[in-house]
Structure 1
Amino acid sequence: IAVMTVLLIVVGLTACGKSTAQDLQSNKWYPNQKGQSYKTQFNKKTMIIESPLMNVNANYSVSNTSGKEYLKVNTDDEKNQKLELTQISDGYKAKAINKPAKADDGLGSFE
């Protein structure tokens, strides 16, 4: 009975934690990419990157496959961009893992 109680508490506490999508939505972000940093906001389904020239609006989703988290992004210029998310001390590292994400008009890797 004691083991079952401990397991239920651990599972309950894990389930109560914020998801990555909720974490992205509840914080202000300034991703760093090649020495450039732009304010980025995450709403429920939209990622907004603010730059001096123009804002970029993209649809995004966060998924978890085999214990790894992925950020999937669609912009007007590049569809189906996929980035692997890794949590780091002060946020996330996003590694571009497919051609659309690595393309000239894609997001590329950033922290």
Structure 2
Amino acid sequence: MLSLPERWLTLDEAARLVGRTPRTINSWAAAGHIRVRRTGSGRRFEFNELLDARDAARARREFGNWKPGPGRPPHPARPQIRTLLAEGQKPVDIAQQLNCSAYLVYRVRRELKGTT
């Protein structure tokens, strides 16, 4: 595997790169999702880790951290959950496979039982 050299960005550069606010970058650093290097002129954030953190945040938003709200579409994993439940898979296994919450899987299962 090719190892790319480390590239360290300022807070503003990091925020622009991943399309988030500086506050979000700081919260990722505080949570340990990305490394921080302190310099005399501020803090620096590693380029590749920022991209990985951005992609992980997208995945959480897409499947695991989705919250319903007025006017929001149903969770994108619902059709897959229905199919896997119909095949007889366990809810916990489905949640792990789709990287979504077990609560969502149980909720879909409850909805399906209510319609039969």
Q: TM-score range by the shorter chain?
A: under 0.3
Structure having greater relative contact order (Cα 8 Å, sep ≥ 6): 2
Higher helix share: 2
Larger radius of gyration: 2
State the TM-score, normalized to the length of structure 2. 0.22
> What is the TM-score with the length of structure 1 in the denominator?
0.23
